């Protein structure tokens, strides 16, 4: 699992940065990837990446500003033309369905897959056997959401040698033990699952925020995150401008990561004013407060390591 940045700029594309789009790859876990936001020309960025639109499972839209949604109609059509046939679900704020349906209808686009659109509100918006996705409203000029993706714990590893020491040969009972069920042998011996299965693998937490000023919901969503993706449109010297336009600074993002106890912070949504002098200033400011910070660039990727298992 890793985070792959397709676009990392703010407002308008520049020669160095396209507008916002972020992929969460889960090929080993789910055989798919998820997309967070879809700014203009996202499909072009996908062509320059290792991603395949046929593997796209979910799209999560943070808010309805153009630099986060103008790439949707083209990407949805291209997914169909490039062999994507599996269902696709799009989550986003109220209004996202009207935008997509109208765009597709007027352009007479035809899709070769089922498309489901879910307009979200705060709270739990998705759950399956592998993960949950929770949202909360942030502080922006229009409704802007953050997403907290939390993996569910995975069962620990079965100690095969220890199980065989009881005389139990491989078979369905191995699966019962691994899933927490005790097994009784014909002679009455009880093999307790807790004795032959290692500690569970804790799930990872990934948090992707939409555009926002500092607010309480940033900290709530980011609590204990393995990786936090936070906008940092401006350097700290432009804090007043950031507040006026409902954005965050590098220092504000770093303070949020520290207060939430996050493990890694990746900054994105970088203003075009930093194209010439680069992002060294932004990185330096953030690392003074939260050392494990990176500034994303287009086509940069950040792995999300497994959490350490807890001892029994």
Would you list which residues are annotated within the binding site for Zn(2+)? 63, 65, 67-68, 140, 211, 269
How far apart are alpha carbons 265 and 230 in whole angstroms?
Answer: 7
Cβ atoms of 211 and 62 within 8 Å: the answer is yes
Q: Which helix (H) or strand (E) holds 88?
A: strand 88-92
Tell me how far apart the alpha carbons of residues 165 and 190 are, in angstroms, rounded to a whole number: 13
Catalytic pick among 67, 143, 226, 298: 67
Whether 37 is a known active-site residue: answer: no
How far apart CA 40 and CA 31 sit, in angstroms, is 26
Would you give the end-to-end CA distance of the chain in angstroms? Answer: 26
Q: How far apart are CA 278 and CA 76, in angstroms?
A: 33
Of the candidates 289, 279, 203, the residue with the CA atom closest to the CA atom of residue 5: 279
Please state, in angstroms and rounded to a whole number, the distance separating the CA atoms of residues 161 and 297: 47
Sign of CA dihedral 246, 250, 255, 260: positive
Rounded CA separation 233/210 (Å): 12
- Contact between 196 and 174 under an 8 Å Cβ cutoff? The reply is no
CB-based burial label for 116 (10 Å; 0-12, 13-18, 19+): exposed
Give catalytic residue positions. 67
């Amino acid at each position: 699992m890793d985070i792959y940045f397709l676009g990392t700029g703010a407002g308008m594309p520049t020669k160095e940065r396209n507008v916002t789009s972020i992929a969460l790859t889960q090929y080993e876990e789910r055989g798919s990837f998820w997309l967070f936001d879809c700014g203009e020309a996202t499909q072009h960025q996908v062509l320059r990446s290792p991603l395949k639109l046929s593997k796209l499972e979910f799209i999560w839209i943070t808010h309805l500003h153009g630099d986060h949604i103008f790439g949707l109609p083209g990407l949805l059509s291209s997914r169909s033309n490039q062999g994507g046939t599996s269902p696709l679900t799009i989550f986003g704020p109220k209004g996202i369905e009207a935008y997509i349906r109208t765009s597709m209808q007027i352009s007479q686009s035809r899709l070769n897959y089922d498309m489901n659109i879910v307009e979200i509100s705060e709270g739990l918006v998705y759950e399956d056997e592998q993960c949950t996705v929770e949202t909360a409203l942030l502080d922006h000029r229009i409704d802007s959401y953050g997403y907290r993706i939390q993996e569910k714990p995975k069962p620990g590893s079965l100690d095969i040698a220890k199980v065989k020491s009881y005389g139990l040969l491989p078979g369905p009972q191995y699966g019962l033990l691994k899933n927490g069920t005790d097994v009784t042998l014909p002679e009455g011996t009880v093999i307790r699952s807790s004795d032959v299965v290692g500690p569970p693998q804790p799930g990872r937490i990934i948090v992707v925020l939409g555009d926002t000023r500092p607010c309480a919901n940033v900290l709530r969503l980011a609590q204990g995150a393995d990786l936090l993706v936070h906008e940092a449109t401006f350097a700290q010297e432009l804090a007043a401008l950031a507040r006026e336009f409902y954005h965050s600074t590098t220092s504000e993002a770093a303070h949020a990561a520290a207060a939430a106890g996050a493990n890694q912070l990746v900054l994105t949504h970088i203003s075009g004013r930093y194209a010439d002098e680069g992002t060294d200033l932004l990185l330096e400011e953030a690392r003074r407060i939260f050392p494990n910070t990176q500034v994303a660039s287009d086509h940069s990727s950040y792995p999300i390591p497994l959490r350490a298992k807890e001892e029994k």
